[in-house]
Structure 1
């Protein structure tokens, strides 16, 4: 499959094309490793350790760290292109990479000026640390903007106890960014984001991760208990971090990942379709309309994602970093539409591939694509997002 996001990035003013091209080339190296082990990762529901080793070897975990801290300084366009490439090879690897870069974006976007967080950025680049996220909570569920647990500060030190239903790849991460109430008397929405590294916390696994898809993300539930310096709390309120960085970056990178999964499904369908056409020259196979529909839907996803990336570049160029109702509604719409349309694309591809797509172990197998993409509308459930979007549109006067 072609890489339209990479082409967008290479044309982006102010970005070194050679650096972007090198990162994209490195992503293809990792993708080959991820694809080799993808079926085993899925079958055994195990962490894609070979792909992570390749990500570290190619220095891609620090890709989004600014150059001032010895990272590659990659833009969101480049990271989205990498997510797309990895998603086409192994959905779990692509999701782990996307979620890691979301955390890096939060630290880079809101930790500059804090010596502890600037040191963390340098360590991510130098040591290729893998960051995870703990935002869900037993008493709150997936309500991102509320927390039950609280930071218990005593002078310059803090203690935190959080029961999280899921922490993706938590057992394999080098650090975790956890949401919590600012203090014990704070309201559920008065949140901060706390960065904790190995040595700062303990994890007690609470359940197993035996799911329909995205099996390699190993998103078990954990009892997270952490202690450290108050300086590890990001200096900006989590509400601002979520509005300005976490939500838009999450929805863009997830959409790029889903595009990669759907794009690989379409490529498999096109390969089968061409073989059928060559076998019967002069007549189109019966699946012709499904191929055309799948490609059309894929192009719509590419267009929607490309527009979101272009608008993010415009905001960055204009130094417009404040959140708005329109930005939130736009990013919510990106997530809900792409998560559902990607499933439709694979459905069309399955109709093209027929039993060859339904069976495991063929060059046209699409079962893993379909199972992995069913996570898309469920990750921060689309119903919750659409209800939030409706409230935003009521308040928006633009």
Structure 2
């Protein structure tokens, strides 16, 4: 997408169609079952890996496809139209690996990025139960022991935990240095002393496992440090500037799926001798849903362009895209349930799942209250 024309290129439209075809064949047919059984969407994972849509952001030099930020958003949006849980595969692979791409040495990139490109997942460990929005209050510790680091503590709310092979983990390396005493590390699934908590039982995105990361004298080699010691929180916040946009894309996809279904339903549902789509009140609801959704989509795409360029105002636009799009997704999915009436409230139709899935987009990668703080501080700088 060029800076002065709000249209997708032919290649980007081709990408949309390609993802849409994979979704129709290998994602949508399993979405309800994945939600109902709260199981990982393995069919979607395998299909996305086969098509190189599971981690499209990985640069070509590391055997990836080198997709830009907007192209990654297009992939996530299309998958989320059918299954929000499945859309977290490409979204979280970018979140987990972005610190390595932003700050990692050539050696650590060469070690992990090709494996991610081949299908081994990457998750992100920042939050703790007592350090969610207040990331500087984290208690997970990493201490030097010879050439190694030893980690102790836990991380909470980790998406795709137990499925991913690799985890970028933030831990305190200098307790006296405050926010400058946090460092970033890559932890591998098989590292001794690293285990997972029980799966959380969630309102939505039930097909994406959310678990704690538990570290009990977990020893990792010294060359797993990402960036410089003490730069972990700075790296984490830079990462979120880029990846919050993918949550905006997920929200847009969920909302589009709900709008599509509700529109088709009201054209078929008959009351008082005609399709309810003919009633003005229904048309007004659809118009508002579509208008807000299109505004959210354009904001996400503009933010993605800024991410690609690493613009100075990326922090504002990343927060704005995530915040606005997730609020829109919650409203659109709620209205979709309303348009279906009683049918919308039962799981025979997907809009109730979409409504449950939409809620988390207002919470993770920073609550929307935190996004407003980010935007306000950017405006006052």
TM-score of the two chains, using structure 2 as the length reference: 0.87
Q: Does 1:272 align with 2:265?
A: yes
Within a 5 Å distance, the mapping from 1:116-195 to structure 2 comes to 116-125=108-117, 127-195=118-186
Of 100-109 and 246-255, deviating more is 100-109
Is contact 1:163–1:224 with CA below 8 Å preserved after alignment? yes
Contact 1:277 1:284 in 2 (8 A): no
Contact map agreement 2:140 2:155 (CA 8 A) in 1? no
Q: Which runs of 5+ in 2 are unaligned?
A: 1-5
Question: Does the 8 Å contact 1:204/1:223 carry over to 2?
Answer: yes
- Residue number in structure 2 paired with 1:369: 354
CA deviations over 1:12-38 (Å, ceiling 9, x no partner): xxxxx39x8458615631453222211
CA distance in 1, matches of 2:178, 2:276: 69
Match for residue 305 of structure 1 among 300, 308, 317: 300
User: Within the alignment, does 1:253 sit opposite 2:240 as a pair?
Assistant: no
Q: Which residue of 1 aligns with 2:3?
A: none
The one of 65, 69, 72 equivalent to 1:79 is 72
* Partner Cα separation in structure 2 for residue 331 and residue 34 of structure 1: 28
Structure 1 unpaired stretches of 5+: 1-6, 12-16
Shift of 1:228: 1.7
1:94 deviates by 0.7
**Aligned-pair CA distance for 1:59:** 2.8
Which residue in the other structure is 1:343 paired with?
330
| Structure 1 or 2: more strand by fraction | 2
Tell me the CA shift for residue 48 of structure 1. Answer: 1.4
Match of 1:88 among 62, 76, 81: 81
Does the aligned pair in 1 maintain the 2:268–2:275 contact within 8 Å? no
Worse-superposed segment, 133-142 or 88-97: 133-142
8 Å contact kept, 2:19–2:79: no
Q: Following TM superposition, by how much is the alpha carbon of 1:252 offset from its aligned partner in structure 2, in angstroms?
A: 0.7
Question: In the superposition, relative to structure 1, how do residues 293 and 282 fare at CA in structure 2: closer, same or farther (>3 Å)?
Answer: closer
In 1, distance between residues paired with 2:162 and 2:131?
22
Q: Partners in 1 of 2:55 and 2:168 — Cα distance?
A: 16
Superposed displacement of residue 8, structure 1: 5.1
In structure 2, do the counterparts of structure 1 residues 117 and 300 end up closer, same or farther at CA, with 3 Å as the change threshold?
same
- What is the CA distance between 1:78 and its match in structure 2? 0.9
1:149/1:261 CA distance change after superposition, 3 Å: same
Partner of 2:34: helix, strand, or coil?
A: helix
Per-residue deviation, residues 149-182 of structure 1 (Å, max 9, x unmatched): 2221223211112312222221111111111123
More divergent stretch after superposition (162-171 vs 221-230): 221-230
Q: Paired residue for 1:196?
A: 187
**For residues 85 and 243 of structure 2, what CA distance do their matches in structure 1 show?**
15
Alpha carbons 1:147, 1:188 under 8 Å: kept: no
Deviations 1:50-101 (A, max 9, x none): 2112222223334211111111111111110010011111111112321111
Structure 1's consecutive aligned runs of 4 or more residues displaced over 4 angstroms after TM superposition are 276-279
Q: Which moved more, 1:384-393 or 1:94-103?
A: 384-393
Tell me the residue number matched to 1:34. 27
SS of match in other structure, 2:159:
coil
For residues 52 and 344 of structure 2, what CA distance do their matches in structure 1 show? 35
Would you say the 8 A contact 1:350–1:357 is kept in 2? yes
Superposition RMSD in Å:
2.7
- Counterpart selection for 1:60 from 39, 53, 58: 53
Tell me the distance in 2 between the aligned counterparts of 1:328 and 1:293. 28
Tell me by how many angstroms 1:308 deviates.
1.2
